[in-house]
Structure 1
Amino acid sequence: MVSLQCQLCATCYNDTGPMFDPSYSKTYKNLPCSSTTCQLVKGTTCSSDKRKNCEYTQNYKDGSHSQGDLSVETLTLGSTNGSFVTFPRTVIGCIRNTNLSFDTTGIVGLGSGPMSLISQLSSSIGGKFSYCLAPTSIMSSKLNLGDVAVVSGDGVVSTPIVLRHGQTFYYLTLEAFSVGNKRIEFGSSSFGSSGKGNIIIDSATTFTLLPHDVYSKLESAVVDVVKLERVVDPLKQFKLCYKSTFVKLDIPVIVAHFNGADIKLNAINTFIVAGDGVVCLAFLPSQTGAIFGNLAQQNFLVGYDLQKKIISFKPTDCTKQ
């Protein structure tokens, strides 16, 4: 779902742009809790006042949440020919309370749930979208919808999408990681499976999360080949850190072996600056599930074709997109 911080938000984060003010819109409408749309969205309740509007709560994997009014609004998007395309009565969330801390105006949901932007525009975009995440917070990243989202050309690799009933996530099948000549099988993990759909690909989760045993083997493989001084993470979040800068960081490529697609991950995909002269492995052990996060996807043009059920990756300088 597309969620926007709205005026009169009780608890919201500071963003760089003005908050959306529904009172200035002639096409904005709150949805009643009796509406079919309200029934379709998980985590909805009825407002306690006489309006009986539909209110929603969204909980995210990292423990953050947002709450607000479920509404409809006309969405306007730019097109490749320079004109604008409108989508009336697009379901959005008008955020009234959140503990999110993004420096943005809102959130765009790209999952497979019925109210995600992709699902709501499915008849217009043919189930195709792509994004290219730039490795810097000072630049915007690009989202493509429809035929312009097709990823093609030299260097493209593709892997099947696995969709699970009742789930809004996109699952991929990860077979192994390679660090130098060492291969770490993913199917050997305690909850990773050698079967189909064993890891979520998520553009909203920053770090890549792995089962404890797979993470431990990957960390050991990195330690074996990186000859830098180890230090303690000043953020107390990461397990493997080195005294270095990105300029001087000398580490091998880590390859993620998906079903039919080998993704070569460079330093910007696998390490993060955690402090002055400190870089840390941007993978974390998890007890709840495996996620291929957005750091690992930086500088790739990542294309989703939900009709063909494939995701394609193309190494790209996303700062030039």
Structure 2
Amino acid sequence: MTHSESLQYAALRSRARANRFRHSSMAETSELVETDVFPNDVINYLMKIFVGTPPVERWAALDTGSDLIWFQCSPCPQCNPQNAPFFDPKSSSTYVSLPCNSTPCEALPYYYDAQGQLESPKCGTSNECTYYYTYADNTYTMGELANESISFEASDGGQAVAFPNTVFGCGHNNNATYGRSSTGLVGLAQGSLSLVSQMGNVGRKFSYCLPPFGHQSTSKLRFGEDATISGNGVVSTPLITRSDTNFYFLNLEAIVVGRRRVPLTSQSDGNIFIDSGTTLTKLPSSVYNQVEALVKQAIGADQLSFRNIYNHLCYKNASSIQNVPNFMVHFTGEAELSLNRQNLFRYFTSEDSMCFAMIPTEAGGMPVYGNVAHINFEVQYDLDRKKLSFAPAECTKQ
């Protein structure tokens, strides 16, 4: 895709993903577990992870909005182009296919086939579990479910931290365009197949710091007690779980633009979910319309005339956006976050136009707090205490 096409695809993914609504095979460890995070083009963030024995380095999309871990595997008759070779399960001594009657196979979600019929995971010719995992933006991965060793480099240069018998998808037919640097996806939601669920107690707390898109520096994704963020500026809000989904929900109470407060009518049971795999923030239409009008009034510059399905408020270039107003998001509790221009505007076309990084929901769509709003914040998920914490940070220096 061209740069412009990638930007528009990122916006489309944000819209689509927001519209859909312990078993542990990993060893317990008290060791420090962390890995590098890198901004991938303009769409998402990649994390470094190793798979197989001997371990093979992979960079895969970091996604708190899904569960399955999967990598593109050979043979791959339909795979996305990637810079690294496809993972070859025959080259790993720890790769084991999972049978159809295994617990992980039964944990796979049902899906709709091309005729709209609800289907369950299938059995292959040798009784292996074959999966079809879809995402709300119509991307998908198909392949074989297996056990494999997953590992992370030791931060002190010592022995790597390995988690054997991790359930993952070996994808042989994939349509999930995350850029050539990406080799798959690592789900960090709360389902039994996600990485955090399979890490035992280590995965009950994790944190990341997302650097701005366009920067070449990496930051860190941390697991366990080392993921704790502390000090001045840390604010927290309840992390809300639901029985009908594995997403991480929050209560967004209001948005303040300048001196005007725009409240949300629904403020209980989680009215927005936070997703590292979605680019743009999506707000209820009535709230978005008020917020957009206030931002437009504060900036005062002439906006671009095109208004399409991707963005509603765009300007010619960054220099057009001088009068960025005070912009605060208020979550339940003490969590009041101040967003700056990096969190509020994204380059949208090759002509350097910049667009508001928030869009309205469609009918029935679920609001989502996308990754542009996470930039230069440490974000900590504490699943045992059911708490999400934020702290402003320079993520390029993590």
1:76 aligns with 2:151: yes
One of 199, 213, 223 as aligned partner of 2:286: 213
The CA deviation at 1:199 is 0.5
**1:170: which partner in 2?**
248
| Deviation string, structure 1 residues 6-32 (Cα, Å, up to 9, x no partner) | 112222222232221111001011111
Aligned to 2:323: 250
Distance 2:309 2:74 in 1: 36
Give the TM-score, by structure 1 length: 0.92
- The CA distance in 1 between the partners of 2:344 and 2:101, in whole Å, is 47
Match of 2:298 among 221, 225, 232: 225
Task: Write the mapping of 1:184-223 to structure 2, written as runs, cut at 5 A.
Answer: 184-187=262-265, 193-223=266-296
Aligned equivalents of 1:274, 1:231: Cα separation in 2: 12
Gap change, CA 1:265 and 1:113, over 3 Å in 2? same
TM-score between both structures, scaled by the size of structure 2: 0.75
Task: Report how many residues are paired.
Answer: 314
Runs of 4+ in 1 over 6 A off after TM superposition: none
* Contact 1:3/1:93 (8 A) holds in 2: yes
| Residue aligned with 2:208, SS | strand
Question: Any gaps of 5 or more consecutive residues in structure 1?
Answer: 188-192
Cα distance in 2 between the residues matched to 1:105 and 1:235: 31
Distance 2:130 2:354 in 1: 42
Q: 1:271 aligns with which of 345, 348, 352?
A: 345
CA apart distance, 1:231: 0.3
Offset of 1:240 from its aligned partner?
0.7
From the superposition, tell whether residues 17 and 235 of structure 1 become closer, same or farther in structure 2 (CA, over 3 Å).
farther
Which structure has the higher relative contact order (CA within 8 Å, separation 6+)? 2
- Tell me how far 1:126 sits from its aligned partner: 5.6
Closer/same/farther in 2, CA of residues 278 and 233 from structure 1, 3 Å limit: farther
* Equivalent position to 1:45, from 105, 118, 121: 121
Contact 2:298 2:323 in 1 (8 A): no
1:296 aligns with 2:373: yes
Of 181, 185, 191, which residue of structure 1 is paired with 2:259? 181
2:301–2:320 Cα contact (<8 Å) kept:
no
Which residue, out of 124, 140, 152, partners 1:65? 140
2:172 aligns with one of 68, 91, 96: 96
CA distance in 2, matches of 1:98, 1:177: 38
Q: Percent identity?
A: 39
Partner Cα separation in structure 1 for residue 359 and residue 227 of structure 2: 31
* C-alpha distance in 1 between matches for 2:218 and 2:90: 28
> Which residue among 383, 387, 391 is the counterpart of 1:306?
383
2:184 to 82, 106, 115: 106
Pairwise CA RMSD: 1.8
Report what 1:7 is aligned to.
Answer: 74
Distance 1:155 1:212 in 2: 31
